[in-house]
Homo-oligomer: A and B are copies of this chain.
Amino acid sequence: MNAPTSFDQLVPDIHQRDTPAALIDALKARFGDQFSTALVVREQHGRDESSFQAPPPAAVVFAQSTQDVADAVKLAGQYDVPVIPFGIGSSLEGHLLAIQGGISIDLGRMNKVLMINPEDLTVTVQPGVTRKQVNEEIKSTGLFFPIDPGADATLGGMAATRASGTNAVRYGTMRENVLGLEVVTASGEVIRTGTRAKKSAAGYDLTRLFVGSEGTLGVITEVTLRIYPLPEAISAAVCSFPSIEAAVRTTIQVIQLGVPIARVELIDNNTVRMVNAHSKLGLREEPMLLMEFHGSPGGVKEQAETVQEIATDHGGKAFEWATTPEERTRLWAARHNAYFAAIQSKPGCRAISTDTCVPISRLADCLLDSVKEADASGLPYFLVGHVGDGNFHFGYLLDPNKPEEREIAEELNHKLVARALSLEGTCTGEHGVGLHKMGFLVTEAGVGAVDMMRTIKRALDPRNIMNPGKIFSL
């Protein structure tokens, strides 16, 4: 596999469409000070956490209501101008880049929790509410929302990219936890999908069609989510291992035994070192698993004992337990700060993050060979993973001014994805396709399946105005 390395190779659909002055005038008239063409505002809405750059959008609308979104989409549609939904800008895959120009619709001001139904374990939010915000607002009910991508992302953005995180091994991803949506379609119409009932067999699953559609089919303007009782008991543990392999084999066995572990995260020795340097945590600089157990006091104890036994069999040592919220927060800081600790370890660098996910039995095969390749490349990297799901991330740290580093990183990524696909896995467990994985998607899903996605896209967005050029080229 020859890794495409330039932006043009990766992103076939880059071409700026015109934004007619008449549209700018109409948006200005409709939105007043909720509208901006200031360069600094446009630039802020034209980049994300990916390593790519594109010209910024032509303008930004700050939506405050579903009607605002519908009107912006309708106006843009009249001129065949793209609209790009913007949450908080934490995409890792270039989802927000205005590669065909157009208008960014910032949903950050639609940040109200609309309805908390503790008795049904549901909450309904506007798309700009972040995951931390929703947890803050429902805290008094004794319930929580488990999905936690690294960033404090918006729930609209998380739904649009089918995000997950460290709790997915027990609670599932956005796929399993979105019950219903309100969506503004490409024609500016407002539809609702799903209900607050826990299950339904009523027609096509439009909810899950929009979850993971990356803004290419519509703009999500409301999300109804499942929430969960805070466990009676929570216990976290960190355990060091003599090798990555030992940590991975421990994980595989825990999952295969059906232990209902709530979190099991791998951090490699490189990354522990970066985190220690960044956050002064004083952790043993060896590969480690960070784990969390949820349940009744008895259940948590049982789970922890089983896992400790398995880990010990694989040479795991230096178990450190945390049961108070403060201790747990300290342990989890290692995981949550990994990305920023890594970025800061090489000043001025950008990270290319991989996101393969494989069946659990293939995890060691997929991961260990890729570690060897990364080590041999000489490029610094971090390695963290939601290993209980078979999902992990290498972050290759590259100097954006050194094309040869990008080449090395892309080559490593390509080898890793090829390996994951040959092991019946996927190129992306949770970050989405965006700009960076369009080629991989075709290899993974096949031309026929991607053509079916294109057919759906063309049918629902005939003028190709909804975040065009992402997931696949048209």
Contacts and interface: CB of A to CB of B under 8 A. Distances in A.
Interface in A325-374: 355, 357-362
Contacts of A258: 228-229
A309 interface: no
A449 to B, nearest CB: 5
B429 A200 contact: yes
Q: How many copies does the complex hold?
A: 2
B117 A202 contact: no
> Which of A199, A209, A471: most chain B CB closer than 10 A?
A199
B460 A198 contact: no
A390 B448 contact: no
Interface string A383-398: 0000001110000000
A437 interface: yes
A154 interface: no
A249 to B, nearest CB: 12
Given A229-B257, A449-B192, A202 B427 contact: yes
Interface in A143-187: 161-164, 168, 172-173, 175-176, 185
Interface residues of A, number: 89
Nearest to A217: B204
B458 A426 contact: no
A295 B296 CA distance: 12
A472 interface: yes
Given A197-B357, A199-B429, A357-B199, A452 B460 contact: yes
A455 B460 contact: yes
Given A298-B298, A359-B122, A450 B229 contact: no
A453 interface: yes
Contacts of A450: 203
Contacts of A173: 199
B119 A201 contact: no
Interface in A427-474: 427-433, 437, 440-441, 444-446, 448-450, 452-453, 455-456, 458-460, 471-472
Contact of A197 (B195, B217, B358): B358
Given A202-B445, A453-B204, A120 B360 contact: yes
16 contacts: A118-B256, A120-B360, A161-B201, A162-B200, A172-B176, A175-B199, A191-B448, A195-B426, A199-B357, A199-B426, A199-B429, A201-B426, A202-B433, A203-B450, A204-B456, A456-B456
